[in-house]
Structure 1
Amino acid sequence: MKSYPLILDNFSVTLFDRTLFNIDSFIPEPGTSTAITGMTGTGKSVLLSALAGLLPAYPFKLTGSMKLNGFYAYQDGVKTNYKIWNQIRQKGIVFIPAESAQAMNPSLSLEQNLKLLAPDSRDLIEQRLNEYFGINFKKFTKYYPDEVSGGELQRITLMILLSRQGGLLYLDEPTVNLDRNLRKRFIQFLNEEVLTQKDKTILMASHDIDFVRALSMDTIIALEDGQFKYLDALPESSGYEKPKPNEITGPGLELQKVSQHYKIRGVFGEHDFYAFRNLSIKFSESIIYGISGPSGCGKTSMIRSILRLVDGTSGNIVLDKQNLVELKRKENGNDPAAFKPFRKKMSVVQQDSRFAFFPDLSIRDSFTQIFPQQG
C-alpha cells in the first residue's frame, strides 16, 4: 500500500469566531513540492504551524484529521499524544519559520547551534554557505545569534535547517531578510540542491509571487477565502507607479562623521566591531529616502543609532539644531528629560512589526498604550 507523508481530511482552523481555512482533502505525492500562495493574513503561516504541530490550542480551534508519516497527528480536531508525535518526528519533519532565527538558541554560539541542529551535515552546510551565499562559516563560529546581522543569520540558519535529515519539509516565507541579490542565489540553491532531489515532500508558503515563479515547484496553490485553489499559472505582478517627490521644505536630519561601535562577546572575551564608520549624510524634510545595501552593511544599525537605541555611537546626529548623541549617551531603557521631546517626533516600523505590540495585551489595549506616548 502506498504511503503518503501528509494527508488532510476536512481539516479546518478557526481563530476565535473566524474560520481561516477549511481544506476538504489534500494528499501531496511523496517527493513532490507544493507552493502555497496568497495575500498576507490568509492563513498560510497558520497552516504550516498546524502541520508542524506548533499551533496552540487557544485561541485556535481545529477540526478534521491529519496524518503525518503514517500516524494520526490530529483526530476529530484533537492533537494526538506525545508518543505518537515523537514517532512522527523521528521519521523526520523540518519546519523553517518565517523568522528562521527563532530556530536558533540565543544562548549558544552559531557553532554550538549547528552541532545541535544538524551535527552530521557540517561539511555540506559549509560548502553550501560558501558556494551560494559567499559566507565562510569558520569566521562566524564563535558569534552568538544576536551578534550578526539579520541577513547573515537568515542565510546561516536556512542552510543549517535545509541540510537536516527529514522527509517532510515546511518553509514559511523563506525570503525574509534576504535582499534581491541573495534571493536570486537562494532561488538557484533551491532549484539545484533541494527541489531536484525529490527525496523530500516540500510545502512552502510565500506571498512573493516573483519568488515562487522562479522556482521549479510541482504544484502551486492559492489559499483564497479559506479554500485551496490549484493554479496552472501565477498571476502577473502589478506594477508600481512612483509618485512625484515632495518639494524640499527645509533641513531635516544630519549625520556628521557618525560611527557605530559594538562590543562583541566571544569565547576568549570581548572584541570590538564597527557596523559603520564616519558616516556623513543630510536628510531634508518632506523627502522619503531609501537606504539600500547588502545584508550586514549597517542599515539597521544606522536606524538604531538615530533612534538612540544603542550604546557606542560617536559623532553628531543633528535634529532641530540639537545633537541627539549628546542628549542621550547611554541606552538604559529610559530617555533623559531633554531627549523626550525628540522621541515624540520619531516613529519606527520594525523589521518584525509584531514587536511593536505588547505580547500580554490585546491589539486594542496595545494601541491605548502606544498612541498616548506619541502625543
Structure 2
Amino acid sequence: MSQQRKTFDPSFKLQVVQLIKEQGLSVAQVCRDMSLGETAVRRWLRQFSAEQSGQAGIGKPLTAEQQRIRQLEGEVRQLRQDNDLLKKAFGLLCPRTAMSHRLIDQLAEKATTGVAPLCRLLGVSRSGYYAAAARARKTTSVCAATVHLKTLFTASGRSYGSRRLQQAMVQEGRPIGRHRVRTLMRINGLRPVWKRKFIHTTDSRHTLPIADNLLNRQFEPATANVAWVSDITYIRTASGWLYLAVVMDLFSRKIVGWAMAPNMLAELVCAALQMAITQRQPPAGLLVHSDRGSQYASDAHRSLLARHHLQASMSRKANCWDNAVMERFFLNLKMERVWPNNYANHAEATRDVTDYIVGFYNSTRLHSKLGYLPPNVYEHQMAEKQPIEVSEIT
C-alpha cells in the first residue's frame, strides 16, 4: 500500500519559514516538533529566498502580475535604502534639525514640492519646522531693532534712556514697546554712565537790589517770548573751571542765549542775555527769571533789562525749585555731554557745549515736555497753528 503524500498551503509554508528565519530555530528542531521532512522544509527556505531576491522560485514560475509586484517591491526596498542613507548622512551634521529646516527652505523655493513631503523625507515635523521659521523671523526682527537702537543711542551721544529711545524708534517708523527697548538696552549694554560733580555758583550774600518772584513757577507760558529763565553753571576742564550762562524760552524749552567764560563776572550773564535779545527780538514786558546771584542783581544786568523794557524776576532765597526748568537743563547737559568727557582746555569745552546746544538739544533731542519733539520742531509746529514772532539766527 503506497503512502499518501502530504500537501501544504502557501500560508503554512510561510509560517514555517518565518519560525526559522525570524525566531532563529534550527531546521531539525522545527521538523521534529512539527513532524515535517527536512528536505521539504529546506526546499521551502530556498524558494522563499529566491522569491525575496525577485527570482521565480522553485517549482512555480511567476505570473506577469507577480513579476510586477516583485518589481515594485524591489523599487520600494531601494527607496527605503536610499532614504535610510540620506537620514544617516544628515545625522552626521550638527545640529541636524537646524540643517534639515534650512534644506527644506532651499528645496521649497526651487521645487513645487510642498513642505509636508520634505518634512516627511527628512524626518522632521511640520509644526517644528513652522515654529523654527517663526523664531527665525522674530530673531531677524530683534537683530534689526537692535542695530537701529544702537544707532540712535550712539547718535544721542549715548545719553538717551529707554523712554526717548522708544519714542525715537517710533518716529523712525519702527514701533516698539518701552519694555522691549529696556530689554535690548540691558542685553547690549546700552547704559549711560554719569558722574556727578558739584561746585557752588550762586552768591546771594550781597546788598544789591533783589527783584520779586514774578514768575512764581509758572513754567508753561502760552506763547514764545513771554517768559525766559536764566542761570549759571560750571564745567570742569584740565585748564580750570569754565562757567556757562544760559537763557531759555519756557514756551519751547529752547536755549536762546548762552555765553562761556573762565570767571563768573556780570559780563557773562549780560552776554548770554544780549545773545537772546538779538536772536529773538522780544516784545516789551518779557519776564526774565533768575536766581539771586550777584551777577543778575548787578547794575550791568539791570541796565540791560531796562534798555529793552524787560522785567526781572528772581527766585526766593535758597529755593532751587523756583528755577527748576533751568536746573533740569543743566543736569541734562552734564549727564549727556559734560560728565562723559574730560576737556583738555576751555576752547575744547566751549566747542563741545555749543555743539550740544545748537546741534543736539535745540534741533534733535526729544523733549518729553514737548510731546517728544525737539524745541525747534515744536516751535515750527506751533507757529503753523498760531503766529509767533521769532527772528533768530540758527
Larger proportion of helix: 2
Q: Which has the higher contact order (CA 8 A, sep 6+)?
A: 1
TM-score scaled by length of structure 1: 0.20
TM-score (norm 2): 0.20
Structure whose residues are more often strand by fraction: 1
Kindly name which structure, 1 or 2, has the bigger radius of gyration based on alpha carbons. Answer: 2
